[in-house]
Structure 1
Amino acid sequence: MDEAKRVEEGLAGDGQTQLIKEDCQGDLHKKLDRNDGGDRVEDAPEQPMAETAEEQLQVVKQKSKRVATLDAFRGLTIVVMILVDDAGGAYARIDHSPWNGCTLADFVMPFFLFIVGVAIALALKKIPRIKDAIKKIVIRTLKLLFWGILLQGGYSHAPVDLSYGVDMKHIRWCGILQRIALVYFIVALIETLTAKRRPILLEPGHLSIFTAYRWQWMGGFIAFVIYMVTTYALYVPDWSFVAHDQDVPRRYAVKCGMRGHLGPACNAVSYIDRQVWGINHLYSMPVWQRLKACTLSSPNAGPFREDAPTWCLAPFEPEGLLSTISAILSGTIGIHYGHVLIHFKGHSERLKQWVSMGLCLLIIAIILHFTDAIPINKQLYSFSYVCFTAGAAGIVFSAFYIVIDVWGLRMPFLFLEWIGMNAMLVFVMAAQGIFAAFINGWYYKDPQNNLVYWIQKHIFINVWHSERLGTLLYVIFAEIVFWGVVSGVLHKLGIYWKL
C-alpha cells in the first residue's frame, strides 16, 4: 500500500513516501532507523545496500511495519461520531452533555484532535524543505476550512431536507472541520518551524521527551494562558438577541455584567463569539436547551418551560474561537504521544510514557471537576475537559496499541482500520448525511416515502417494536457496518479520499 495514501492527519491524508525518497537520495549509506516510515514499530534485518534511490525506497517499504493503531483509533472516533449523532436523539444519555459533565458524544472532538496531533508528529518528523512543508500545511488548512463551512455552515441541509443554500446573513462560520483545521494549523506550524531544534536522540531521564520538545509545550501553554485569562478576567456585559424561529421574531435580553462566569448565559467563550462572528452566525440549537432550567423533558429535548430563562432561546457556538484556542492543548498532547512513538523503541517504554501521562491527566481532571474548581465542560472546552478527554484518549490509544500492534489481534478491528483509512469519506457521506440525502432524493410521490425511511421503519423499528431500539440498530447496521464494508472494499481497491 502506498504510504502517501495511508498516513492521514486527522481526517486528511498526508504521504511520507516523498520524504523517505528524498532522504534516500541525499544519503544512500544511511542505515534505516526502525521508525523511519513515520508509523513503524520494529527493526528489520539489515539488507544489502540498494544501488539506486528507487531500489532503496522499495527496501524501506518492505522492511517497515505500519502502526495499525492509528487507523483503528481514527476509525473508532468516526464510528462513535455516527453513533451519537444519529442515535443520540433516541438515547439522550449518549448525546452531548447539556452543560457540565461528559458523555460519550463529548469524547469525539478531543479524540479527533488527539489523533491529529499523533499523525502530525509522524508525518512531519523529517522535513527536507520547511517552505514546502508550510505550503502543504496552509493548503490543507484551507481545504478543511472550505469543507467545514460547506458541510456545517448551513448550505447543506442533509439528510432530511432535500433543499440546499444558505442565507449569508446567518451562515455558520464555525464547525468540526474548522476547529480541526485551526488546531492542525497551529500545532503543525510549531512542529515545522522547530524542526532544526528537534533532537535525534533523547537525553536520559523520564522527562527528557518533554524538554526535547519544549517549544511544542510552550505553544500549548500559551494557548492555556490565553484561554484561562480571557475566561476569568473578561467582563461580559448585558446582551440581547432576536429569536428567528418563532412566528414573529422577538428580541430577548440577557442580564450579565460579571466576570469569570461559567454558566450558559454570561461566559466569556460565548461573548467572544458574539463579538467576533456576530450572534446571527452562531449555532442556533445549542445542547443547553436540554437543561432542566429550559425544559421539563431534560435530559431529552422538549418544549421550553414557561418560566425558562431567556438565554435558553439564544444561539451558542460549541466550536467557537476561544474554545478552539483551548482545543490546541488536545492537539499538543496528541503530538506528544506521536513523539513518544518516534523516540522510544520498545513497547514497554512507549506504554509507560503513554499510560502514565493518561492517568495523570485523568486525575487532574477529576480533582478539578469534583472540587468545582474547573468543571468538565465540552461547550466551554474547559481545562478539566481537555485533561479528562486527552487522558481517556491516551488510555484508549494505549489499549489499542497493546491489542493490535503488540498482541497482533488486528482481525476484530479491521473494520475500524478501514474506516480510519478513509475517514474523510465516511465523515462526509455518513456523519454529515450526504449519502443518506442522495438516497432520500429518490422517493415515490412523497419525500417521506424513500428507501432510507422504509428501511428504518420496516426492517428495524417495526420488527423490534421500539423506535429507540430500532433507531439504535439502524445506526449500527445500516450505517456503521455498511460504511465499514464500503471502506474495506475501497481499501482493497486502493481508493482513498484525502485532503
Structure 2
Amino acid sequence: GYSHAPDALSYGVDMKHIRWCGILQRIALVYVVVALIETLTTKRRPNVLEPRHLSIFTAYQWQWIGGFIAFVIYIITTYSLYVPNWSFSEHSDHGVKKYIVKCGMRGHLGPACNAVGYVDRELWGINHLYSDPVWSRLEACTLSSPNSGPLREDAPSWCRAPFEPEGLLSTISAILSGTIGIHYGHVLIHFKGHSARLKHWVSMGFGLLIIAIILHFTNAIPINKQLYSFSYVCFTAGAAGIVFSALYVLVLLLINPTN
C-alpha cells in the first residue's frame, strides 16, 4: 500500500496526510540524543566520584550541558519566535472551507498562536499533523468539555485545526526529561547505600515538583503537556523520582531486605 500513486489511493497509507510525528518517534529521538552523549563522553568522566555533594553532577557535566542546550533552544524559540497569521482548509461532503487564525505575536502559550505549533506547520506541513488534538475539548470549542463532542457554532477557527503534540520543539524539550531520567540511573550506579540513593532521588524529586508548582501557580510557565513546557518537565521528572523511590523501597527493602 506504499507504492501506489498518491492521487489514486484505494488502500494503504495516504502519503499526503500521513502523520510524521508520534510518541514513539519522540522517545526514539530523546533516547538517541541522550545515548550519544552518554557514549561519546565515557572516557571524559571519572569512574569514582569525588567526596563532594555535587560530584554526581560534575562527573556527568556533558549530559547536563546537553539538557541545558535543549532547554535554552526550547525557551528561546517558544518565547521569541514570531507567529504570523495562518490558515488551513477543512474538507467535507459539502466541499472545502478555508479558515484563518489571526496571530501576529510572540510568546503566546495558547492553542492558536504558540511557537510549538508554528514550527511543526512550517517543518512538516499542516496536513501531516495530528488531526484530533486535545484543544478541541476545551470549553471554548465544545459544550461537552472536558469530553469530546460537537463543536460550538461560535467556536474559534483553531478548534478545527490540526496540532502535533509530539512535534519537534516539544521533543527538544523532552530531551531534558531524558537527561534527568538517566541521572537517576547514574545515582543507582555510584551511590552504594540504600539511604544515600533514596535521599538523592527524593530530594531531587520534591525539588523539581516545587519548581513546577511555583512556575505553574505564578503563571510564569504553566504546566502544559501539549507544549511540553519546562514546568511540565519538572513536574513529571519530579513525580518520576518520587515514584521510583517508592518502588525501590518496595522491591529492594521490603520484599528483599537482605540486598
* TM-score, with structure 1 as normaliser: 0.49
- The 5-angstrom pairing of residues 85-484 of structure 1 reads 165-245=12-92, 247-408=94-255
CA 1:251/1:222 → structure 2, altered by over 3 Å: closer, same or farther?
Answer: same
SS at match of 1:244: strand
Distance across 2 between alignment mates of 1:247 and 1:393: 48
How far has the Cα of 1:198 moved from its partner? 2.1
Distance across 1 between alignment mates of 2:171 and 2:237: 15
Report the residue type matching 1:195 in the other structure. T
Distance across 2 between alignment mates of 1:245 and 1:386: 38
Deviations 1:192-216 (A, max 9, x none): 0000012111111221101110100
How far has the Cα of 1:246 moved from its partner? 5.7
How far has the Cα of 1:244 moved from its partner? 2.6
SS at match of 1:249: strand
Report the residue type matching 1:400 in the other structure. L
**Runs of 5+ in structure 2 lacking a partner?**
3-9
Deviations 1:51-97 (A, max 9, x none): xxxxxxxxxxxxxxxxxxxxxxxxxxxxxxxxxxxxxxxxxxxxxxx
Report the residue type matching 1:177 in the other structure. L
Distance across 1 between alignment mates of 2:20 and 2:135: 20
Deviations 1:6-63 (A, max 9, x none): xxxxxxxxxxxxxxxxxxxxxxxxxxxxxxxxxxxxxxxxxxxxxxxxxxxxxxxxxx
How far has the Cα of 1:249 moved from its partner? 2.2
Distance across 2 between alignment mates of 1:246 and 1:187: 47
Task: Give the structure with the higher percent helix.
Answer: 1
Percent identity of paired positions between Structure 1 and Structure 2: 81
Give me the CA root mean square deviation. 1.5
Distance across 1 between alignment mates of 2:67 and 2:92: 39
How far has the Cα of 1:268 moved from its partner? 0.2
Distance across 1 between alignment mates of 2:45 and 2:217: 39
Distance across 2 between alignment mates of 1:404 and 1:199: 30
How far has the Cα of 1:247 moved from its partner? 3.9
Q: How many residues align?
A: 249
Distance across 2 between alignment mates of 1:409 and 1:242: 60
Report the residue type matching 1:231 in the other structure. T
Larger RCO (CA under 8 A, 6+ residues apart): 1
CA 1:172/1:245 → structure 2, altered by over 3 Å: closer, same or farther?
Answer: farther
SS at match of 1:232: helix
Which residue in 1 is equivalent to 2:7? Answer: none
SS at match of 2:99: strand
* TM-score, with structure 2 as normaliser: 0.94
Distance across 1 between alignment mates of 2:81 and 2:70: 16
Which residue in 1 is equivalent to 2:6? Answer: none
